[in-house]
Amino acid sequence: MRETVQEVYAEALDNAALEAFEGRYSDSELAEMVDEEKIRKEALQLMLDV
């Protein structure tokens, strides 16, 4: 499951940059604003809780 989270993180970040901020920030700019490790841990936890 960790691999799955790692594989989709970049795509999710790109989609978030486009959807949440209407393209104002690039995915790399948005990545600097978030805690990647925390997001990955939370995503993994949500998958395990299902």
Is the pLDDT confidence value at 46 over 90?
Answer: yes
For the chain, the structural domain boundaries read: 2-49
C-alpha to C-alpha distance for 6 and 21, rounded to whole angstroms: 23
Tokens standing for 44?
Answer: 């993994």
Tens of pLDDT, residue by residue over 3-43, are: 989 889 999 999 999 998 888 999 899 999 999 999 999 99
Residue 20 confidence (pLDDT): 84
Residue 9 confidence (pLDDT): 93
Is the pLDDT confidence value at 50 over 90?
Answer: no
**pLDDT band with cut points at 50, 70 and 90 for residue 48:** very high
